[in-house]
Structure 1
Amino acid sequence: MKPVLIFGATRGVGLEVAYRLRGRNQSVLALVRPNSEPAPLKTLGVEIIPGDAVCSGDVERAFMALGTGGIVISTLAGRLDDGTYVDETGNQTVIDIARRYTPERVVLVTAIGCGEMMPYRSEQAITAFGDVVEAKTRAEDSLRTSGLPYTIIRPGGLLSAPATGRAILSTKPTIHGMITRTDVACLIERVIDEDNSLGKAFAAVDLDHSRLDPDPSKDSHAEPLTP
């Protein structure tokens, strides 16, 4: 199995991915900010590279540790003191450096409502998350045009609960729903093993906690990713 470099591994989906991959004895590296808590990652046997994803030098060191041909996963999110989103600036740095190291794949984790899903957002969602969704979409667009092999995962509303095993990936732009962080990690683990997910963007939701809004132009229904 190829080594995996995770950006955003100290919490949330990123940490759950580290648990999954180390559980199958896959080599995992993580760029970790000095003020973050690395203890859970160290316990898992993750190789820690100190640094910040908005610093190109730190990201470069992380890619040097990974080497060529590895897998990159980014779950970066958050807002900097100047008001900019790490979702865009951090991921842009990762994408720029990745182009020099020819990774096997870059998996970018954003959110439902990004990209071609934007026209189908509710007014409530636009009011609450409009700016960050736009920042995440710009990161997606940058990855799509980078020439890198990629997969984009757009989780629905994130839940802190055990995995249900009922999570699906869908390319339908009108799908909405919730999903546990653990189930997102399970889907990412699956995606990095499947060539048929390359060059695609998927919404990630729980089958029992999702809905598909009508799309007048298409006969829409939720479809899981075919193994």
Structure 2
Amino acid sequence: MRPILIFGASRGVGLALARQMRRRDVPVTAMLRPGSASDELAADGVRIVRGDAMSREDVAAAFAGLPTGCDVVSTIGGRTPDGIFVDEVGNINIIDAAAAHGVQRFVFVTSIGCGDMAPFRSERAIAAFGATVDAKTRAEDHLRRAIPSATIIRPGGLRSDPGTGRGILTHDPEMHGFINRDDVAELIVRMLDDPATIGQTFAAVDADNAQSVNPIRPFELRSALPFVS
């Protein structure tokens, strides 16, 4: 597989992805904020660059030395102390830098409820996460314009239990459910290995927790890579 640059590798899905990629001997670079812990990643052979996704200069510098054919994954989110959504502004900085670098395989991790899933959000979800999900949607829209070949994955509720290998992708905008972070990372690995996912948008849930008013029809990924936790 191609070298990969991960934004958001200090924890959660990004950390799980970095580990899985290194266990497959994929060269991994991770941009971490100054002061973020890096010993665990460095011990796994991840190349660390420091920077803030809210700085366009820092993000552009993260691509230095990487081939134009590298893969890029962003899992970042949150807000700055003054309330600006990193979900939107930080990701747009990453998207623009990736486009300028000639990146074609970009995977953006957002969440269920974004984009065409918005009409199916519950009132409770809107109250709790609506503004964040809307910020992610704006970044999704920017990504589609800047890198049409990019792939978007919208996980359901994230859990930190060990991976089950039961994660599925679906195009169903009414899908809900939960999924473990390790399983999202595994799906990303498989997506990057499958050209059929280019330019597509998916929801991601555990097959045993999938909930929809529609029949559940998982997207059949070509790759059946062994699960690595």
Q: Same fold (TM over 0.5)?
A: yes
Partner residue of 1:222 out of 199, 217, 225 = 217
Letter in 1 for 2:220: L
Matches within 5 A, 1:48-59: 48-59=48-59
Paired with 1:68 and 1:55, the residues of 2 have a C-alpha distance of: 21
Matches within 5 A, 1:183-194: 183-194=183-194
Is the CA contact (8 Å cut-off) linking 2:190 and 2:221 kept in structure 1?
A: no
Is the CA contact (8 Å cut-off) linking 1:212 and 1:222 kept in structure 2?
A: no
Paired with 2:183 and 2:147, the residues of 1 have a C-alpha distance of: 29
Structure 2 unaligned regions, length at least 5:
223-229
Matches within 5 A, 1:27-106: 27-106=27-106
Paired with 2:172 and 2:139, the residues of 1 have a C-alpha distance of: 20
Residues 44-95 of structure 1 show CA distances to partners (whole Å, capped at 9, x for unaligned) of 1100111111111111111123231100000011111111111111100011
Letter in 1 for 2:43: T
Structure number with the higher strand fraction is 1
Within the alignment, does 1:125 sit opposite 2:125 as a pair? yes
Paired with 1:225 and 1:88, the residues of 2 have a C-alpha distance of: 30
Look up the SS of the partner of 2:94 in the other structure: helix
Look up the SS of the partner of 1:204 in the other structure: strand
TM-score, length-scaled by structure 2: 0.94
- For residue 97 of structure 1, report the CA deviation from its aligned partner: 1.1
Within the alignment, does 1:23 sit opposite 2:23 as a pair? yes
Considering only aligned residues, what root-mean-square deviation do their CA atoms show, in Å? 1.1
Residues 76-121 of structure 1 show CA distances to partners (whole Å, capped at 9, x for unaligned) of 1111111111111110001111111111311000000001000011
Identity among equivalent positions (%) equals 50
Letter in 1 for 2:210: S
Aligned residue pairs: how many? 222
Paired with 1:221 and 1:196, the residues of 2 have a C-alpha distance of: 19
Residues 117-136 of structure 1 show CA distances to partners (whole Å, capped at 9, x for unaligned) of 00011111111100000000
Paired with 2:147 and 2:154, the residues of 1 have a C-alpha distance of: 20
Residue 196 of structure 1: aligned partner: 196
Residue 146 of structure 1: aligned partner: 146
Structure 1 unaligned regions, length at least 5:
215-219
Is the CA contact (8 Å cut-off) linking 1:106 and 1:148 kept in structure 2?
A: no
